[in-house]
Amino acid sequence: MSTQFLDSRLSLNNTTSSGTTLLTTTPALFGDIGLQTVNAIGTPNENDVRIQLWGMVGVSRIEPNIVNIFVERGGTGVFGTGLLVFSSTIELTPGPGSRDLTFVTGDFPPVTDVVTGQIRYSMYLSINQPTAVILRGPVTFTGSASAGTS
């Protein structure tokens, strides 16, 4: 069956670079989307749903640290309650300075998730050391769902 567009969603936590939120060593929710899969249910594409996810996180720091970006499928909006589908650790060298961190990933959800009609994806951020890393922005998390094999 031909490729079928299902849905596209965007989570905008901060659209400017003037944020002052401090990241912590505990992963916190900064992006949350629900991608609709209902139009694939009952079709030959039901077993061929694919998800594309991407995001951007702007940070600033003075001391070196590591920023962790996690994406989970399912879950309740609390880190660890869903299935981890993406994890990245980005090393920040001594500053001062700002960095825009970007990522792209994908997921092939099981048909048991597809037939629920919507799949939740959540993006979490944390740091490894207690030295200050400011989430200055922008912070975006975007996803799209499609189905089919050609």
Instruction: For 4-147, give the CATH class.
Output: mainly beta
CA-to-CA distance for 35 and 9, rounded, in angstroms? 7
Domain boundaries, the chain: 4-147
User: Residues 90-133: pLDDT tens digits?
Assistant: 999 988 889 999 999 999 999 999 999 999 999 999 999 989 99
The percentage of the chain sitting over the pLDDT mark of 70, rounded to a whole number, equals: 99
pTM flag (> 0.85): yes
User: Residues 36-55: pLDDT tens digits?
Assistant: 999 999 999 999 999 999 99
Tokens linked to 52: 């594309």
| Nearest Cα to Cα of residue 145 among 11, 55, 39, 29 | 39
